[in-house]
Amino acid sequence: LRRVRPTTILNVESSKEGITNEISSEPSSDIPVPVHRAEGLCAVYKPLDWTSNDVVSYIRGMLERDARNRGAKLAKRRSKSKTKKVKVGHGGTLDPLATGVLVLGIGSGTKDLQSYLSGSKKYSAGAQLGFETATLDMEQGKENAVKTAPSDHVTYAMIEGIIQQFTGDIMQKPPIFSAIKKDGKRLYEQARAGKTEEDIEIEARKVTIHNLQYSKEDQNGRGLPCFGIDVECGGGTYIRSLIRDIGYALDSCATMTSLERTQQGQFTLDVAIPREDWSADNIYAAVQRTNSIFNTLDEGNDVED
């Protein structure tokens, strides 16, 4: 992972003053105002019912307003102008019904997001046996289940007995309602057009489950037919599909009822900025903290070398 350095100008007013003192012949109005106060990575807590792109768009708009308020000149978002733009991206999609850690790249930090797409992540999820929806989550509600099966026979001992077969490298078929492309079209687009899994012939892919633990209650404290799982996995893993396959292994079926990403890379829940605290000041402060940590790690590696 490339270490993103803090921008040299983080406080516009103090920077202007310092430059003006050094070069008194140059008026301060000629000093370009930086588009970003800091560049790098941070994490926010994605709220329920927001898409990951909703978050990116909101944060970008907020930072654009901050840049204009500071006097920075910005090009329009889709303009081909060489004038700089506020850059914001995310490091791995969370579905609208999922919550939790969403890593953001600000400015040059967007170049580092690819490693987060493929890197390790941790999740806490709730599941319910006995029914399966088309989306494998509660988006369409239990009343719109496409499959039902008995679950009264399932015991905690049975879950404990099969859970470890889903660790390590496993083959997993992605949900039909996912952004994966097949024949040039995203699966969810084909599903909404009326195609089925059999029509599309979705192929299983190898994914890695580093650690998998189950709990006797879901996030709402409900026991069987509900239960919870904590997962550490590699990129490309669908927790919805994992819960579906656990249901099949128990001679039943299952649907994911909740999902929270608890960690992505070094970013954990305790550093993810909650929705009520989203502001330009807090975003840039978080980026600077991350840069400081990265710089300390780099210095430590230099000493070891």
> Active-site residues: which are they?
95
d(CA 133, CA 95): 15
Q: Which helix (H) or strand (E) holds 21?
A: helix 12-22
101 by DSSP, 3-state: which?
strand
Strand partners of residue 105: 41, 89
Q: Which among 217, 182, 188, 215 has a CA at the least distance from the CA of 200?
A: 182
Output the DSSP codes for 229-287: EEEEE-TT--HHHHHHHHHHHTTS-EEEEEEEEEEETTEEGGGSBPGGG--HHHHHHHH
Determine phi and psi for 144, rounding to 5 degrees.
-105, 30
Using omega within 30 degrees of 0 as the cis cutoff, is the peptide bond preceding 225 cis? Answer: yes
Cβ atoms of 290 and 281 within 8 Å: the answer is no
Burial per residue of 183-203, b for 16 or more beta-carbon CB atoms within 10 angstroms, e otherwise: eeeebeebbeeeeeeeeeebe
d(CA 216, CA 228): 6
Residue 274: CB atoms within 10 Å:
11
DSSP assignment letter at 184:
T
Residue 301: CB atoms within 10 Å:
10
Cβ atoms of 104 and 91 within 8 Å: the answer is yes
